[in-house]
Chains A and B, each alone.
Chain A
Amino acid sequence: MARKIVTSLGVLSLILVIAALYMVFEYVPTEADEGIVQRIFYFHVPCAWIAFMAFGLVAVAGIFYLWLGGQIWDDLGHGAAETGMLFCTLMLISGSLWARPMWGTWWTWDSRLTSTFILWLLYGGYLMLRVMIDDSRQVARFAAVIGIVAALDVPVIILSVRLWRTIHPAVLVTRQGGHGLEDPRMVATLLVSLAAITVTFAWLFLVRFAELRMGTRLEALARGIALAEVRTGDI
């Protein structure tokens, strides 16, 4: 059953990605001010949405781990952080590639860019912690705390275009409160891209999560076998 769901998600992801690419390169009209480079936006925004959602999932998993203490919550947080990190990196790279022709620079220490970069560093630290410490229980506790604290940066990033002076465009909801996508084809393209990236994330996350669960069970089994070997040796 689980294998069927994962396979279906993989196929659906492929179909949606092809549809989204067709819409981005063929269907959607070119934006008047920014030109062709504005089409980066249709995958940049979904990558951001997924990164924030994944890091929210890490925080929820962290809370449940500290509360209930099951290894499943740690595996859930680990899988979400890893997949979220991929999309957070893609968000930063795609943003930088958009900024170069638009702002004339690859990077600027703008409030939204800086807060996003801080989020990327926090989750980089979260994943490095898992590699550096051997004690799995201690790692799970530290990771849960870091995951919860790091997720506090997500609302800061979202609100940064309203709270501080920033050059980052507010496209979905403009600073005046309206929405920035006037053409319905732009909205449709964004929605299909959003669905494509969301399903791709769900697919990658589920596969990775299943793998982490399997790894945890194998570790327990290996410990049991080692114990049995010691006992057999004693007899």
Chain B
Amino acid sequence: MEHFGYLFATYSIIFVAIFLYVVFIWQRQSRLESEVRALEAKLKALAEPKHESAAAEPGAKPSP
């Protein structure tokens, strides 16, 4: 079993590196999901004033 250390180190490094890359992708995914939530909140905020003004003027036509 001479040089087993080199073999073990090689395969360990390969799988640790792939695992770290998966973690990196997963973190990016989480960041994108939080961006989606922030954009959804912004969209909601943009839509809300229109609803409020429509509620204040019952006879008014809704804007397209």
Contact = CB atoms under 8 A, between A and B. Distances in A.
Contacts of A39: 7
A229 B35 CA distance: 17
Interface in B31-49: 32, 35-36, 39, 42-43, 46, 49
Contacts of A229: 42, 46
Contacts of A221: 39
B49 A211 contact: no
A204 B22 contact: yes
Contacts of A98: 6, 10
Given A211-B29, A218-B32, A229-B42, A36 B3 contact: yes
Interface of B: 1-4, 6-7, 9-11, 13-14, 17-18, 21-22, 25, 28-29, 32, 35-36, 39, 42-43, 46, 49
A232 B11 contact: no
A208 B3 contact: no
Contacts of B42: 225, 229
A141 B36 CA distance: 28
Contact of B7 (A36, A211, A225): A36
B2 A35 contact: yes
Dominant SS at the B interface? helix
16 contacts: A24-B11, A36-B1, A36-B2, A40-B10, A93-B10, A93-B13, A97-B10, A97-B13, A98-B6, A100-B6, A211-B25, A211-B28, A218-B36, A218-B39, A221-B39, A232-B46
Nearest to B13: A93
Nearest to A215: B32
Contacts of A208: 25
A215 B35 CA distance: 9
Nearest to A34: B3
A218 B49 CA distance: 23
B17 to A, nearest CB: 6
Dominant SS at the A interface? helix
A24 B18 CA distance: 18
A94 B11 CA distance: 8
A43 interface: yes
Given A43-B11, A204-B21, A97 B6 contact: yes
The 10 closest A-B pairs by CB, nearest first: A37-B3, A101-B3, A97-B10, A94-B10, A40-B10, A97-B6, A225-B42, A90-B14, A37-B6, A218-B35
Contacts of A116: none
A97 B2 contact: no
Contacts of A83: 21
A43 B14 contact: yes
A155 to B, nearest CB: 26
